Structure 1
Amino acid sequence: MKRMMALSLLLGFFMVPGGFAQGAAQAQAFPHKSVVMLWPAGTEKVNPDIPETIVPKDFEAVKDVHNPSLTVFRPAKPNGTAVVICPGGGYTIIATGLAGYPVAERLNEAGITAFVLKYRLPSTKGAGFKHPIPMSDALRAVQWVRFHAADFGADPQKIGLMGFSAGGHLAATAGTLFGKYSFGNDAVSKVDSRPDFMGLVFPVITTRKGIAHGCSRSPVDPRLSKQQVPEMSCELNVTKQTPPTFLAHAKDDATVKYQNSVLMHEALLAHGVATELKLYEKGGHGFGLGREGTDSMQWPGDFVAWMKSLYPNLSFDSE
């Protein structure tokens, strides 16, 4: 039985920067690197009047997201696949400039349309963005892309979800719990929220003692800990409906132990879900597109090769 989470939404379409139009002109409303808002005006716990906070880093990072959004990255030659990217940051920041925009550009080279998600963080002070609020943004992103798939030359049955570190945890919760939750009551919310595939890179997965990273409990509302903690251990929530999943991790990751990915891989295999696990000798944590001089740099190519195996009739060539 689905657990309905009541969120107040206005019915119908919502405007994006530059306007929204039907038919052939609609594609012009979503140029490369355009930004679209995920939720309609009036949505509970969404406030477009509160600006994001830029976090001083060597790369772009943000926090205090009150108006979740997708940044669109369109390839020159879309091949019909699309991916929503959830950057990591320990559920305290969103490292868009490390495991967001650069990854989207790399996926574009393979013909994959990419959308970088800025989601509400459970650590946002006084906002009440605990589980399932962050997950609602990830699921809504999948629905939004699927709803608008034709505008991006994408197949609505080839929409994936990718996440890094805590963003991997977010993606994995969405990819395992989509059948238990629904959000909203507008046209987008009626679309299937199940990702067709997942890519999890150095992901936080489990709450198991000795393996867990502390941020796996960050989304938990202390008042609902008994109900929510089991949902934070993604390997325990895998079913045969969980999407095919690619996992990549470095063995020398001292922040998020690679056993997180192993546990998820084993759970997927146990339920007959197609999965591939790539363990690299070196790379540490937060390696983005790969840490130079290490075999972690292989992961983008390995992911594209896996996508080719999922969709052998599509082209993933950059030429």
Structure 2
Amino acid sequence: MNILFTNAGRRTYLIEYALELIEEGYNFNLFVSDTSIDTAAMHVDPRVRGILTPRVSGNEENYCKVLLSACKEHEIDVLVPLMDFELPILASKKKLFEAIGVKLWVSNENTISNCLDKIQNYQFCIQHNIRMPKSYFTLEGVKPPYVKKQILGSGSVGLEIVMEGRASSFIPGIDMLQEFVEGKEYGMDIMNDYNGNYVHSCVREKLGMRAGETDKARTFESAKLVDLAKNISQAFKHVGNMDIDFLENEAGEIYFIDFNPRFGGGYPFTHLSGVNYLKFIIESSLGSNKYIPEFKKSITGFKGLKLFFKEN
């Protein structure tokens, strides 16, 4: 079996987790792709094989063409995309990948749009009784405190918290405003199978953020949040992992704020709690249902720095 992580960038922990499975006895070759050979994920281990692709943004069709060709050349069996910008084009071409034998772990086009387009996401959540902070797409009737975001933003790009006065700028059609909810912030991974059925979820309390990504967190179990995860899973019917963010106010009310249909920066906390979603993907892709992810321990985790290198 040949497995490819696309736009792997700095997500070296996913590569290390995959290598651990090889050491456990799983028989597969590991590939990663990105736009430059000078990418950390390509230098985690000599067993990792690198593939160069063009940038996705503004070049979607060519990106997909090059990726399809690489999958044919390297006989890729399983493809796991890791970047928001590639998800819409890969979702639209999923059947082309499946036609050459690639199991592409990406949701359908509607699900991707319902997650990444914050206008569609807001409307979708209202229709499915998923509570979100009240959102505005014009300045009319908006009073602080509120949060300014980009409608198609990724990470914390364009994020601004406005406690009084007005946002530094607002571009209709690009930006949106969301009611500010004060409370604890949480993240959760929700794993679905290839047909969009719920498999497992793992929740974490965020203790620190850095550049829009979870930097410190504590994992724990909650029957109440598992029920909410199952509702979200059933509503979105996403494929693979979904990384979501939500807030809980003092009254115990939960407000969901982000839905990312891919592995995110919070996954290491899930993985180190004993919940191996990569193992599930590989087992499932092999046609086996033997491994069911299971929460084994609560952890408090702290991200650090690790350098990967090559000889000049």
- Normalised to the residue count of structure 1, the TM-score between the two structures is 0.29
Higher strand fraction: Structure 1 or Structure 2? 2
Q: Which has the larger radius of gyration?
A: 2
